[in-house]
């Protein structure tokens, strides 16, 4: 594969995922602040975040800077020319004159693709609305491999807002390249879109949709929690009714499956209780650290 744009996890074969994992592992000492690199010296990444972000933006920017590259930033639609009515394609054409790679987060599905089609420099999708978040899914796979030593043979539960969570959509797309069993736990209103189940059927992978978190915990090696995505609801009353659907607590996991790994893309807003933080299987802050190494891998592959 030629690593240019990273727009959707649909673009990856298993061998691509493995290559990114290999590259990421190489960059761990840099991500862990033990080494400073110069591989990306002279390169500029444009970081365009038109939706809130802490981890993804700062993780990409850290990855770039610790490998010697530089960053230019536009944050918040209200401060950019998009507020004046500029199209994403024109914004991309402008940024192409400044930067070597574009990382973009935007509320519209397909936004990163729209930019990529307008320019020759690589564009990385850092979250397109309720669409996809490919680099998060890559770091999630990397984290499971690190925590468990493998992906094949595992049972992985996904819990929460499976309808709107772009991290879930991308995660399922990548996991279908492995021999996994998936368990989906969501309120009726927030179930995983059928298209993703269809893709699992095509691969003859086993999955089940259940509503009982305790049962899911019992059966799973990895439990991936998600936030109910408030910003995707047109009716906030519906959000209020659903927001506390599932909560992972220390009492629950210690009793039911103390060996499980618990993941979350963060931010959490109540669905993982604070007493989970020193549970040894809680991997959500380790995911953050792994994210820098994975993004270093991606940026260096793209810049080759
Ligand atoms: C996620 C996102 O933005 O999709 N966060 C992240 O990038 N780590 C998850 C979320 O916002 O719930």
Q: What is the rounded CA–CA span in Å between residue 247 and residue 269?
A: 10
Count the Cβ atoms, other than its own, within 10 Å of residue 84: 6
Helix (H) or strand (E) holding 127: strand 123-128
Q: Is the CB of 59 under 6 A from ligand 1?
A: no
Question: In the chain, what are the domains?
Answer: 9-132+288-303 (3.40.50.1370), 134-285 (3.40.50.1370)
C-alpha dist (Å) from residue 116 to 72, 93, 112, 210: 18, 10, 6, 38
Per-residue tokens: 141: 């796979």
Where would I find the H helices in the chain? 14-26, 28-31, 55-66, 88-95, 111-118, 134-148, 166-175, 194-202, 213-219, 236-242, 250-256, 284-302
Q: Is the CB of 266 under 6 A from ligand 1?
A: yes
Nearest CA among 184, 177, 185 for reference residue 141: 177
pLDDT in tens, the chain (304 residues): 346 899 999 999 999 999 999 999 999 999 999 999 999 999 999 999 999 999 999 999 999 999 999 999 988 877 778 878 899 999 999 999 999 999 999 999 999 999 999 999 999 999 999 999 999 999 999 999 999 999 999 999 999 999 999 999 999 999 999 999 999 999 999 999 999 999 999 999 999 999 999 999 999 999 999 999 999 999 999 999 999 999 999 999 999 999 999 999 999 999 999 999 999 999 999 999 999 999 999 999 998 7
Alpha carbon of 188 to ligand 1 centroid (Å): 22
Per-residue tokens: 199: 């893709």
- pTM reported for the whole predicted model: 0.96
Alpha carbon of 91 to ligand 1 centroid (Å): 24
9 DSSP 8-state letter: G
Q: Is the CB of 160 under 6 A from ligand 1?
A: no
């Amino acid at each position: 594969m030629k690593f240019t744009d990273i727009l959707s996890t649909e673009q990856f074969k298993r061998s691509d995922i493995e290559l990114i994992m290999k590259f990421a592992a190489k960059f761990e000492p840099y991500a862990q602040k033990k080494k400073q690199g110069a591989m990306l010296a002279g390169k500029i990444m444009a970081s365009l975040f038109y939706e809130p972000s802490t981890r993804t933006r700062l993780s990409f920017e850290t990855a770039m800077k610790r490998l010697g590259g530089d960053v230019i930033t536009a944050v918040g639609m209200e401060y950019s020319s998009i507020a004046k009515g500029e199209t994403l394609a024109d914004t991309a054409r402008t940024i192409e004159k400044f930067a070597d790679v574009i990382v973009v987060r935007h509320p519209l599905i397909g936004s990163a693709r729209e930019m990529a089609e307008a320019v020759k420099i690589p564009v990385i999708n850092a979250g397109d609305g309720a669409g996809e978040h490919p680099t998060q899914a890559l770091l999630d796979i990397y984290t499971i491999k690190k925590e468990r030593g493998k992906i094949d043979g595992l049972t992985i539960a996904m819990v929460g807002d499976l309808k709107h969570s772009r991290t879930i959509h991308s995660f399922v797309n990548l996991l279908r390249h492995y021999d996994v069993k998936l368990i989906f736990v969501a309120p009726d209103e927030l179930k995983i879109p059928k298209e993703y189940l269809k893709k699992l059927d095509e691969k003859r992978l086993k999955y089940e949709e259940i509503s009982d978190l305790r049962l899911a915990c019992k059966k799973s090696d990895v439990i991936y929690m998600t936030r109910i995505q408030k910003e995707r609801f047109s009716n906030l009353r519906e959000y209020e009714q659903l927001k506390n659907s599932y909560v992972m607590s220390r009492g629950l996991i210690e009793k039911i499956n103390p060996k499980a790994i618990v993941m979350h893309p963060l931010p959490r807003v109540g669905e993982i209780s604070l007493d989970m933080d020193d549970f040894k299987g809680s991997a959500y802050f380790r995911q953050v650290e792994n994210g820098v190494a994975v993004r270093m891998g991606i940026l260096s592959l793209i810049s080759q």
